[in-house]
Chains A and B, each alone.
Chain A
Amino acid sequence: MSSDTPTVTPPTATLPADAETPAREVPRIGFVERATSWDWLLGAFAILVIIVAVFTTDNFTNSFNLESSLTRMAAKALMVLPLAMLIIAREIDISVASIGGLSGISFGMSVEAGAPFPLAIVVALLTGAACGSLNGVLVTKLKLPSLIVTLGTLAMFRGLCYVLVGGSPVSGMPEPLTDFVNGSVPGTFIPYAIVPFLLLLPIAGMILHRTVFGRRVYAIGGNPDTARYSGVRTESVLFRLFVASGLAAAIAGIIQTGITSSASPDGLFGFELDVVTVCFLGGISFLGGRGRLTGVAWALVVVIVLRSILQLRNVAAFGQAAVVGVVLIVSLLLVNVAAKVGAARATKRTVAERSFDNTRPHDIGPDVASTATPTHNQRSTS
């Protein structure tokens, strides 16, 4: 992997005259560009939101509030990770919440049928993987658009929940589970419910930003045809992403089952709103090929804190959903504007330099354009 580490350092990196960056040893990305990149802006915004919350909202710093705010996001956070990768690869899975619900139901029914706890977990994971596989087959083999496919399976998997158990939840969830997800790491307010996400976040980051697989995801999103002609087996990559999405949703479903002490046919209902919002707010471009998990992590912080503020201010659930909807739209707009500004800046620089640097916007993610134009990848800059 070290041989083809993506490098986009311009061969002739002379700085444009108007750059504010001091002439360090051939800086690849100027300070201003970095400081105005989406990740960093979002990070600053997240910290701002936290500060605002601490000083304006009573009980925000109450450790129980911090704990329960994290718990409320635990299931959603897990589903964000594979979804971010899918969106980078120009696909989407909006059926995640329904997969989570169905996995939760299969978990609950297994427990009710007397299956031991670990076996029930396996059943739930298999359910999630099967749902993800179905999405994957429909998208990669039958070439159907993922938005429509997963809209269909969203309704289908949710309907199946009701077919399986009727309207009434399955109660009597195993105590190890309910104790675990409702407890917190001793001495902190970190609920165990969010721990699976905290463990998976760096792993997902490694996969997306440090492996060949991750670069292929970006390559597909940058330009699927180019990726295919370059030898990327796009179908295989996408299929695996859909299965990963199903598996993450299954873990989320099990956690939610523990939080509610019962497997409900409407478990995780409506969770896709927050999940999709976090991805787009995190700077994942709906055009594919752009965005980083760093931004997604910041976006998660923003949504958690925002929801916590609204909850503590006794805003009705409908009002909270409306605010999250606004955040979704605004983030789409802002990311779009940021990308355009970045592109303009890069173009200007390219013209000024007359170099062969590709015209990718630097402000979204260093990996992105390099993999979007794989022919540049192998350029050695040593």
Chain B
Amino acid sequence: MNPTKPHRRRLSGVAVLATLALAVAACGSDADTATESSDAPADDVETTQEPADDAGVTEEAGDTEASGECESGPITVGIIPKLGDDPYMTTVRDGMQKAADELGQGDEIIYTSPSEATGAAQIPFVQQLISSEVDVIAIAGSDLDSARAELAEARERGIDVIAFDSDVATDSRTLFINQAEASELGTKMLDSMNELLDGEGQFAILSSTQTAVNQNAWIANMEERLAADEFPGLELVDVVYGEEKADLSATRAVELVTQYPDLGGIIIPAGISLPAAATALSDSGDLGDVKLTGLAPASLISDFIKTGDVQDIWWNVTDLGYLTMYAAKAVSQCGVDGSAGTMFDGGELGEFEVGDDGEVILGPAQIVTPENVDEFAF
């Protein structure tokens, strides 16, 4: 009886492993038979795997061609936003749905929801969409690299990948639908300030952080244009930082107004700071004497924009989704392979041309004014 006990225990351990193996084997054969017996998906797998095998070492180099067969019917597009509950991203989704409805082919849109804005958090969702055998993955990259391996896997399996809002590595996707050219945003902000001040007066800049790459590039560009006497009446008196914090930005805005009695306006190229500063200056009664412009979701400051005291440089986020859907359709139908110079249909937005590195620009960012503020859903 002594030996029975360890024996039994070993048995239960073996049972775990055996059941695992069985389950694993059963599932495996299920998958195989499923692939063999079912019609369309099986073909997908066959056609995409063979070229990959043949290509061998060179398969990565020729990855723009790795995408699957050309779709003609309805497609399924999986969206992977940075954060599932981000209203910016749900507005993009609504834009895509709008385009899908307009296209009228019964295209399906699957919106996924990572809970952290990290590339790693996006990986399970890429895998989910691969398992669900979608036709196109549209991803807003939380970082360039993290999902690289899985996106490559998706493309090997015939799923087209496009990026929107923020790019992933160039070799991970066919197209990148960019809302606006970064350089253009800085130009537009100074133009907007010039318009608000009628070309005459002092202004300051309330930026995000001292190390923010985009913001610093815009500020440098503004300083260059001022130095070149493009706006002889305008004077930049100070640059301060709101550190991406609403309360600090509000304080900085009020401080600027106190410090410079003749201040006519503030440029605020930071999405958190502009609404905070507008609210603070409105409360203190300074808004109006001091005009604001910058970069923020138009919907957050639409009340201030309507008074004419605040302008905004923004793009139509619904349109970003709308164009992304048309791009997904074009790529899945083999109309676009990412090479520069190709044209594709953007529905009511017109024709779009693919630029270098597969980049597509939604269009010039707009200056949001009382006249057009209602066009911006976000």
Query: Which B residues are in CB contact (< 8 Å) with A62?
Result: 31, 34, 131, 133
Question: Which residues of the other chain, B, contact A50 by a CB distance below 8 angstroms?
Answer: 23, 27
Indicate whether B128 reaches chain A with its CB closer than 8 angstroms: yes
Q: Which stretch from A140-148, A311-319, A325-333 is at the chain B interface?
A: A311-319
User: What number of residue pairs across chains A and B have CB atoms under 8 A from each other?
Assistant: 158
Q: Is the CB of B6 within 8 A of A314?
A: no
Whether B2 and A381, one on each chain, are in contact in the complex, defined by CB atoms closer than 8 angstroms, is yes
Question: Considering the complex, which residues of chain B in the window 19-47 have a beta carbon less than 8 Å from any beta carbon of chain A?
Answer: 19-20, 23-24, 27-28, 30-32, 34
* Complex CA distance for A60 and B23, rounded to whole angstroms: 12
Mark contacts of B259-302 with chain A using CB atoms, 8 A cut-off: 1 yes-contact digit, 0 otherwise.
00000000000000000000000000000000000000000000
Given contacts A9-B2, A43-B16, A190-B24, contact A171 B144 (CB under 8 A): yes
* Inter-chain contacts of B153 with A (CB < 8 A): 64, 182
> Quick check: A260 and B128 within 8 Å, CB to CB?
no
Please state if A178 and B118 are interface contacts (CB–CB under 8 Å).
no
* CB within 8 Å of B: which A41-74 residues: 43, 46-47, 50, 54, 58-66, 68-69, 71-72
CA distance in complex: A297, B20 (Å): 10
- When distances are taken between beta carbons in the complex, the residues of chain B under 8 Å from A375 are none
Assembled-state Cα–Cα distance A262/B20 (Å)? 32
The reply to whether the CB of B58 lies closer than 8 angstroms to some CB of chain A is no
B1 at the A/B interface (Cβ < 8 Å)?
A: yes
- Interface residue count on the A side (C-beta < 8 Å): 62
Contact of B157 with A9 in the complex, beta carbons under 8 Å: no
Give A264 Cβ to nearest chain B Cβ, in Å.
6
Determine which residue in B114, B144, B145 has the highest number of CB atoms from chain A within 10 A of its CB, and name it.
B145
| Given A66-B31, A266-B118, A366-B5, A311 and B124 contact (CB-CB distance below 8 Å) | yes
Q: Are A58 and B132 in contact (CB under 8 A)?
A: yes
B7-15, B200-208, B320-328: which lies at the A interface? Answer: B7-15
Residue from B1, B30, B118, B124 in contact with A54 in the complex, judged by beta carbons closer than 8 Å = B30
Residues of B within 8 A of A65 (CB): 127, 131
Q: Closest approach, in angstroms, between the C-beta of B377 and any C-beta of chain A?
A: 22
Q: How far is the CA of A39 from the CA of B123 in the complex (A)?
A: 32
Q: Of A169, A182, A294, which is within 8 A of B143 by CB?
A: A169
Chain B residues touching A, majority SS? helix
A169 x B128 contact (CB < 8 A):
no
CB distance from B149 to the nearest CB of A (A): 4
* A9 pairs with B5, CB closer than 8 A: yes
Given known A-B contacts A58-B132, A381-B2, A382-B2, A294 and B114 have beta carbons under 8 A apart: no
Chain B residue numbers with a CB within 8 Å of A5 are 2, 6
In the complex, which residues of chain B have a beta carbon less than 8 angstroms from the beta carbon of A267? 120
* A318 shortest CB reach to chain B, Å: 5
A residues near B6, Cβ cutoff 8 Å: 5
Are the CB atoms of B19 and A61 closer together than 8 Å?
Answer: no
B107-135 Cβ-contact flags toward A at 8 Å (1 or 0) = 00010111110111101110110111100
Q: Is the CB of B132 within 8 A of A264?
A: no
Asked if B72 is at the interface of the complex by the 8 Å CB criterion, the answer is no
Known: A314-B110, A316-B113. A262 touches B132 (CB 8 A): no
Q: Is the CB of A261 within 8 A of B146?
A: yes
* Residue in A47, A64, A71 whose beta carbon sits within 8 Å of that of B157 in the complex: A64
Q: Is A212 an interface residue (CB 8 A)?
A: no
Closest Cβ–Cβ distance, residue A63 to chain B (whole Å): 4
List residues of chain A with CB within 8 A of the CB of B145.
169, 171, 260-262
A260–B141 CA distance with the chains assembled, in angstroms: 13
Query: Given that A43-B15, A261-B149, A316-B84 are contacting pairs, would A63 and B28 also be in contact in the complex, using a CB cutoff of 8 Å?
Result: yes
CB distance from A360 to the nearest CB of B (A): 14
Within 8 A of A (CB), among B146-199: 146-150, 153, 157
State whether B121 touches A63 (Cβ < 8 A).
no
Write out the residue numbers on chain B whose beta carbons fall within 8 Å of the beta carbon of A64. Answer: 127, 130-131, 153, 157
Interface residue from A47, A182, A270, A317 paired with B23 (Cβ < 8 Å): A47
Interface residues of A in 268-316 (CB under 8 A from B): 269-270, 293-294, 297-298, 301, 311-312, 314, 316
CB distance from A155 to the nearest CB of B (A): 17
Which chain A positions have C-beta within 8 A of B24? 66, 188-190
Do the beta carbons of B28 and A189 come within 8 Å of each other?
Answer: yes
**Are A260 and B146 in contact, CB atoms less than 8 angstroms apart?**
yes
A338: Cβ under 8 A from any B Cβ:
no
- Contact (Cβ within 8 A) B146 A189: no
**A321 in contact (CB, < 8 A):** yes
Partner of A317 from the list B30, B84, B127 (CB cut-off 8 Å) is B84
Contact assessment for A178 and B19 in the assembled complex, using a CB-CB cutoff below 8 Å: no
A54 touches B27 (CB 8 A): yes
Given the complex, which residues of B lie within 8 Å of A18, measured CB to CB?
A: none
B12 and A294 contacting across the interface, CB-CB below 8 Å: yes
Q: Are B128 and A317 in contact (CB under 8 A)?
A: no
Task: Report chain A residues within 8 Å CB of B114.
Answer: 316-317
Does B1 contact A25, Cβ atoms closer than 8 Å? Answer: yes
Once the chains bind, are B16 and A59 in contact (CB under 8 Å)? no
Given A28-B5, A264-B119, answer yes or no on A72-B28 (Cβ-Cβ < 8 Å).
no
Quote the shortest CB–CB distance from B78 to chain A (angstroms).
9
Known: A25-B1, A28-B1, A261-B145. A59 touches B131 (CB 8 A): yes
Query: With A262-B146, A264-B120 in contact, is A68–B127 under 8 Å at CB?
Result: yes
CB distance from A92 to the nearest CB of B (A): 24
A10 to chain B, nearest CB (A): 11
Residues of chain A touching chain B, judged by Cβ–Cβ distance below 8 Å, are 5, 7, 9, 25-26, 28, 39-40, 43, 46-47, 50, 54, 58-66, 68-69, 71-72, 168-169, 171, 178, 182, 188-190, 205, 209, 256, 259-262, 264, 266-267, 269-270, 293-294, 297-298, 301, 311-312, 314, 316-319, 321, 366, 381-382
- Give 14 A-B pairs besides A9-B5, A50-B27, A59-B132 with Cβ atoms closer than 8 angstroms: A25-B1, A28-B4, A47-B23, A59-B131, A61-B27, A61-B31, A63-B27, A69-B127, A261-B146, A262-B119, A297-B16, A312-B128, A317-B124, A366-B9
The 7 closest A-B pairs by CB, nearest first: A316-B113, A317-B115, A65-B131, A68-B127, A63-B31, A61-B30, A260-B146
Cβ contacts A to B, 30 pairs, < 8 Å: A7-B5, A9-B5, A26-B1, A28-B1, A28-B4, A43-B15, A46-B19, A59-B132, A62-B31, A65-B127, A68-B127, A68-B130, A69-B127, A72-B127, A169-B143, A182-B150, A260-B146, A260-B149, A262-B119, A264-B146, A266-B118, A269-B118, A270-B116, A297-B20, A312-B131, A314-B112, A317-B84, A317-B121, A321-B115, A381-B1
